[in-house]
Amino acid sequence: MEKAEILKQVNKIFIDVLDNEGIVLKDETVAKDVEEWDSLTHIQLIVASEKHFKIKFTSSEIQGLRNVGHFCDEIQRKLGR
């Protein structure tokens, strides 16, 4: 899957989980840029993404995520396998 397409789908997941239509993610977006994105919703975003893309993250991968772009890279890497 193209990374742009992954970002688009991740954006949809964020809108759904955080219940905020106005979210527009970019590669460099981090948690503090999005009001509802905190440590609790973070877990929900990961779990929702895992379900959507049918992949699994390890706990160290979750802790190592830097920003949305990196998150999408990880998804792409797992999908490519």
Please count the CA atoms within 13 angstroms of the CA of 3 that sit on its side-chain side: 11
Is 17 a residue that touches other proteins (CB under 8 A)?
A: yes
Is 21 a residue that touches other proteins (CB under 8 A)?
A: no
Nearer to other proteins, 28 or 38 (CB): 38
Q: Minimum CB separation from other proteins for residue 2, in Å?
A: 26
Helices marked H in the chain — which ranges? Answer: 3-18, 39-53, 59-63, 68-80
Is 35 a residue that touches other proteins (CB under 8 A)?
A: no
Size of the site for other proteins (CB under 8 A): 16
Contact yes or no for 25/48 (Cβ under 8 A): no
